[in-house]
Amino acid sequence: MVVDTERDGATWFECEDCGLLFDDRSEAEEHERHCDAEGPSYIQ
Ligand SMILES: [Zn+2]
């Protein structure tokens, strides 16, 4: 799911599955629909 997160005084929208940050909620939601991350596994 997409969660709001505040960073550097701005609100970002984070894909909870893979941790990607977006500055636009609709972009985050669009990404989340196609996100193929399985669970909270973080790259590196
Ligand atoms: Zn994702």
User: pLDDT digit string (tens) for 4-40?
Assistant: 999 889 999 999 999 999 999 999 999 999 998 765 5
Residue 11 C-alpha to ligand 1 middle, in angstroms? 17
For residue 39, is it within any domain? no
**What is the C-alpha separation between 17 and 42, in angstroms, rounded?**
9
pLDDT at site 38? 66
**What is the C-alpha separation between 9 and 29, in angstroms, rounded?**
22
For residue 21, is it within any domain? yes
Which residues fall inside 5 Å of ion ligand 1, going by CB? 15, 17-18, 35, 37
**What is the C-alpha separation between 8 and 39, in angstroms, rounded?**
26
pLDDT at site 42? 54
For residue 43, is it within any domain? no
For residue 20, is it within any domain? yes
Which range marks the domain in which residue 25 is found? 2-34
Residue 1 C-alpha to ligand 1 middle, in angstroms? 9
Mapped onto helix, strand or coil, the DSSP state of residue 4 is strand
For residue 42, is it within any domain? no
Are residues 35 and 16 in contact, defined by beta-carbon separation less than 8 angstroms?
no
For residue 41, is it within any domain? no
Total count of domains within the chain:
1
